[in-house]
Amino acid sequence: MKNLIKILLALVVVALFSVSCQEKEYSLGESSYTISQDQLTFNMTPGSDEWTFNFTASINADPVQHPFAFEIRFGDGAATKDLTGSHEYIVEKGTYTAQLLVFTPNGEVAYQEQVITIVEDNEKIYIDNPASLQFALTGGKENVAGKEWTIGPWTAMRNPDNRGEVWWNYNGPDPAMMNDVMIFTPNSIQPNGGYRYDNGGETFMNESLGNLFPDGDPAGSFITVNYTAPTDATWDITTRDGKTILTIYKGFISYATAPEDLNKTEYEVLEFSPSSIKLVRVSDFPIWCFELTSEEPQEIVDLTGGKDAANGKSWKWRPSDQGAGLIMTRTWTGEVWWTVNDGAAGSEAAYDDILTFWSDGRAKIDNHGDSYLNEATGDLFSDGKTDGSFVTVEYVPANDAKWSFTTVDGVSYLKLTNVFPMYAINPEVLQEGLYEIIEISADLLCIRFIAGTGEWDVTWNYYLVPAE
C-alpha cells in the first residue's frame, strides 16, 4: 500500500512539472498573438556630429496584456534597451544597419531597420597607422604590453603667449617626477586604451592638492606626496575646435596641476613623433607644458649613461695634456686670465674629485675629504685661508645633490643643487648654481659660469671628461 501511495505521488509531481514546463500561449481573441512591423516605429537622425545619431522608437502593443522583450542594435556591436537617446558610431567609414527588434514569448520576432552611412573614420577609432598619434602613443595594436614614456626636457611652466619662454622648470624643485614612467596600451578599435602610471610610490603635485594627502604640505607651492595610481585609468584622443586633445581618465602625466586631474586630465597635443610628444594642459590659462619621451634624450644619455646605468656616469676634470680643467676669462673679450691644470698649487683637491650623475636627477661628488674653493667661500670654513685667492678646505658633500636641465631666456643650463663641478666659484653655488651648457657629448662636458660685475665680470669655463 505504501509503495502504491509513493507511485501515485510521483505521478502527480511529474504531471505538475510537465504543465509548468509547457510554453505559455498568449492569445488575442481565438489565436496566438503576434507583433507586426506596422506596430513598430524606429527612426535614427543625425546628431551633433557625423558619427552621432539620435534614435527614437515605439511599440504599439500593451506589454501587460501581451508581454514582449525588445532591443535596439546599432549594427556596430553595441545595443541598448532604451527607446530614446543617442549613439556614437566609433567605427571605420561604411554602412551599418540599425535594428529595433521585438521578441514575443512564442518565439516570433518583429523588426524595423535603419541604414546608417558613416562617411569618415571616427577619430576615436584605433587605426593601426604608423603615422597616427595612436600608433606613436602605444606602439601599435599588437603591442599589448604598451609603450613606456618618461618626462622629456621640454617639460616646464611656460609663457602661454610664447612657449619658448620658461617661467618655471619642473625638473629642478623636485625630481619625484623625473623617474616616473607613463605607459599607454592599445585596446583594439575601442575609443579608450589603457593607461598605467608607474610613479615609484610618490608624485609631484600642485599646492592645491596638498590638503588631500596626509603627507602633503598645503603651505608649499609644490609638494611631493605618497600616491598610488588607479589601475583602471584609460585614454582617448579627440578633436575640439581644430585641436587634438589627449584625455586621460583617472590619471595625469607625472604632475597633478589641480584636484580634478585625479579624475580626468585633458592635454592639447602640439606635436608628436614616435619618440616625443609635446602637450599643454587644457585649462583657462594653458601654461603647464609636458614632453613625453620614449627614448632618453641623447644629452641625458651622454651626461648620465642613461636609465640603464645603475651606477650613473662619472666625470673628472680633463688632464693637462688635453687642456686645462678650468679656465677663467673676461666675459666680453674672451681674454684668458687664469687657468687651472693638474700642476697648479692646490689644484690636486679638484683633480682627484669625481662627479657622478644619474638619469633620475641625482648627483654626487666624491671629493676625498677636501674641495677647492674661491676665496669668497673660504671664510665659511675654519681651515680656509681667507687671504688667498684659492683655498683647499675640508668639506663634506651633501647627500641630496641633484641636477636638471633648465632654460632661461632661451639659454640652456645645467642646474646643480647642493653640488658643484670640483671648484666652488662663490658661496651661493654650494646650494645652487646655473651653468650654461656649451657642449654635452659622450666624451666631453663643457659648461660655464658667469660671475662678477663690471671690471670683474668673468666667465669660468669648466671642462670635464669621463672618469675611467
Spell out where 84-175 has E strands.
84-88, 94-103, 109-118, 147-151, 156-159, 162-168
Residue 204 located in a structural domain: yes
Domain boundary among 75, 92, 118: 118
DSSP for 414-452? EEEES--SSEE-SGGGGTEEEEEEEEE-SS-EEEEEEE-
Answer yes or no: do 367 and 406 share one domain.
Answer: yes
DSSP for 378-413? HTTSTT--TTSSEEEEE----SS-EEEEEEETTEEE
| HSE-up of residue 101 (Cα within 13 Å, Cβ side) | 15
Task: For residues 355 and 467, give the distance between their C-alpha atoms in angstroms, rounded to a whole number.
Answer: 9
**CATH, residue 47:** 2.60.40.10
Residue partners of 56: CB distance under 8 A and separation at least 6: 41, 42, 43, 83, 84
Q: Which segments in the chain show pLDDT lower than 70?
A: 1-32, 126-128, 171-175, 188-192, 215-221, 378-380, 382-389, 452-456
Residue found by looking up cell 496566438 in the block:
32
Cβ atoms of 361 and 402 within 8 Å: the answer is yes
Which DSSP category does 9 fall into? H
Cβ atoms of 424 and 384 within 8 Å: the answer is no
Residue 236 located in a structural domain: yes
Answer yes or no: do 325 and 225 share one domain.
Answer: no
pTM: 0.48
Handedness of CA 370, 371, 373, 376 (dihedral sign): negative
Domain boundary among 293, 318, 333: 293
Cβ atoms of 271 and 278 within 8 Å: the answer is yes
Answer yes or no: do 80 and 172 share one domain.
Answer: no
- Would you state the pLDDT for residue 440? 95
| C-alpha pair distances (Å), 113 with each of 85, 94, 97, 102, 134 | 16, 16, 7, 12, 34
Answer yes or no: do 277 and 193 share one domain.
Answer: yes
Phi first, then psi: what are they for 11, rounded to 5°? -65, -40
Number of domains within the chain: 3
Answer yes or no: do 168 and 267 share one domain.
Answer: yes
- Would you state the pLDDT for residue 252? 95
Residue 382 three-state SS: coil
Residues 262-275 pLDDT 10s? 999 999 999 888 88
Pull the grid cell for residue 81.
Answer: 534597451
Pull the grid cell for residue 126.
Answer: 584605433
- Would you state the pLDDT for residue 454? 60
- Would you state the pLDDT for residue 209? 83
Residue 2 located in a structural domain: no
- Run of H or E including 137: helix 133-138
Task: For residues 194 and 189, give the distance between their C-alpha atoms in angstroms, rounded to a whole number.
Answer: 12
Pull the grid cell for residue 57.
Answer: 522608437
Handedness of CA 407, 408, 412, 413 (dihedral sign): negative
Domain range spanning residue 112?
27-118
Answer yes or no: do 88 and 154 share one domain.
Answer: no
Q: Compute the chain's Rg from CA coordinates.
A: 35
Answer yes or no: do 167 and 194 share one domain.
Answer: yes
**Which amino acid, 305?**
G
Domain boundary among 267, 293, 319: 293
- Would you state the pLDDT for residue 172? 54
Count of beta carbons in the 10 Å neighbourhood of residue 425: 24
Handedness of CA 56, 62, 64, 66 (dihedral sign): negative
Answer yes or no: do 268 and 308 share one domain.
Answer: no
**Which amino acid, 256?**
A
Task: For residues 108 and 25, give the distance between their C-alpha atoms in angstroms, rounded to a whole number.
Answer: 12
Answer yes or no: do 325 and 230 share one domain.
Answer: no
Residue 93 located in a structural domain: yes
Query: CA-CA-CA-CA torsion for 287, 293, 299, 300, nearest 10 degrees?
Result: 100
Answer yes or no: do 109 and 143 share one domain.
Answer: no
100 closest CA partner among 61, 51, 157: 61
- Would you state the pLDDT for residue 139? 85
Residue 19 located in a structural domain: no
Cβ atoms of 360 and 319 within 8 Å: the answer is no
Answer yes or no: do 108 and 56 share one domain.
Answer: yes
Residue partners of 321: CB distance under 8 A and separation at least 6: none
Strands 202-206 and 255-256: parallel
Task: For residues 347 and 370, give the distance between their C-alpha atoms in angstroms, rounded to a whole number.
Answer: 11
Residues 148-196 pLDDT 10s? 999 988 898 898 888 888 888 776 545 578 789 999 998 754 556 899 9
Answer yes or no: do 435 and 311 share one domain.
Answer: yes
Residue 22 located in a structural domain: no
- Would you state the pLDDT for residue 366? 93
